[in-house]
A = this chain, B = another copy of it.
Amino acid sequence: MLVHQRDRILGAVDTSLAIKAIESSFCDYSSGNVQSGAVAHLRFKAPPGDFHVKSAHIGSSPYFVVKMAGSFYKNPERGLASSNGVMMAFDAQTGHTICLLADDGALTDLRTALAGTVAARLVAPARARTLGIVGAGTQAKLHAIWVSHHLGIENVQIWSRQPARAQQLAEDLRDHPFSVTVQTDLSLLSRACDVIVTTTPSQTPLITRDMIRPGLRIVAIGADSPGKTEVAVDVMAAADLILTDSTAQCLAYGECAALDTSAGTRTPPIIEIGEVLLGHREIHLPEDAIAIADLTGLGAQDAAIAELAIKGLSAL
């Protein structure tokens, strides 16, 4: 059994190819070119943790991939990383194992941040200068870096329920080519920022009705299993456009799950990012439009980043 470790895996991934691979995975998913297994959600109470298992085979890829990853929120108190995970790649011709990517969740972290970046490029206004980051964990950091790079962000504002963690993240981001501010008032952040990325495991909404304003643009990545939510349902319902990675998943357990979609109720248009990237659907966002991207994570993204890693590893 071939086992690759985190550092070697990350060294083998060409990140300029990775964002293209993630874009392609959105398109493959929305065009029905992906076979996805049902997503398993395991939830642990004491200590609290979430765990997901996703599986996918993209089109004619030589591999299919099972991704196992989760977050146990008390781990840092024990000196352990909260997030963790591995991916197992199998031969799509024989079902035999190809290798274990013992990446400690790093590939999931990367593909999640890249997916959020793809989404941010679609929902952000032209010439976005300020990025709001809600949360102070791994995804907060990675989104600050990747979204800022791809949108040319000048100032990142960070809010966390735990201000000390926001402060720490601000320090960790010191060497990046943007300024960083810690915001202690989330409504100030939501007013000041051109685009906001929410990255927490919250089970109660953080972006609330009072923060609704013309031009509000949000990428919400935290709600990826039943019970999680970061954006109040009034805010979702007030959107002029909702983008999803998978409309089926988002309606089942993303931010969209809270929407009343019964007949006769007005809901915002909901469009998959893959449909937009493929050119099958066009989106127009006037300056004052409210747009929200709801991301739940796709097995296809795991399969895409794993295939890229395996190709890179075999070329080392």
Contacts from A to B (Cβ < 8 Å): 1, 3, 5, 35, 37-44, 47, 49, 51, 53, 55, 57, 64, 66, 68, 70-72, 75, 78, 80, 84, 86, 88, 90, 92-97, 100, 102
Decide: A44 and B102 in contact? CB cutoff 8 A. no
Decide: A64 and B93 in contact? CB cutoff 8 A. no
A40-B38, A42-B57, A55-B42 as given contacts; A78 in contact with B64, CB under 8 Å: no
Residue with the highest number of chain B CB atoms closer than 10 Å, among A5, A55, A71: A55
The minimal Cβ–Cβ distance linking A17 to chain B, given in whole angstroms, is: 25
Query: What is the total number of copies of this protein in its complex?
Result: 2
Decide: B64 and A42 in contact? CB cutoff 8 A. yes
Decide: B68 and A94 in contact? CB cutoff 8 A. no
Decide: B66 and A94 in contact? CB cutoff 8 A. no
B residues within 8 A CB of A57?
42, 44
Decide: A86 and B88 in contact? CB cutoff 8 A. yes
Decide: A37 and B37 in contact? CB cutoff 8 A. no
Decide: A55 and B84 in contact? CB cutoff 8 A. no
Complex alpha-carbon distance, A211 and B53, angstroms: 42
Q: List 8 A-B contacts (CB under 8 A).
A: A1-B3, A1-B102, A37-B40, A40-B40, A40-B53, A66-B68, A80-B94, A80-B96
Decide: B86 and A64 in contact? CB cutoff 8 A. no
Decide: B47 and A37 in contact? CB cutoff 8 A. no
A51-B90, A75-B95, A100-B1 as given contacts; A39 in contact with B38, CB under 8 Å: yes
The minimal Cβ–Cβ distance linking A281 to chain B, given in whole angstroms, is: 28
Decide: B97 and A72 in contact? CB cutoff 8 A. no
Decide: B40 and A55 in contact? CB cutoff 8 A. yes
Of the residues B55, B68, B75, B96, contact of A88 by C-beta under 8 Å = B68
Decide: B64 and A37 in contact? CB cutoff 8 A. no
The minimal Cβ–Cβ distance linking A104 to chain B, given in whole angstroms, is: 9
Not counting A84-B95, A84-B96, a sample of 9 additional A-B residue pairs whose C-beta atoms are within 8 angstroms of each other reads: A1-B5, A37-B40, A37-B53, A39-B40, A40-B40, A49-B95, A66-B66, A71-B95, A75-B96
B residues within 8 A CB of A88?
68, 86, 88
Decide: A53 and B51 in contact? CB cutoff 8 A. no
Which partner residue on chain B sits nearest A55 by CB separation? B40
A3-B1, A38-B40, A53-B37 as given contacts; A94 in contact with B71, CB under 8 Å: no
Which partner residue on chain B sits nearest A39 by CB separation? B38
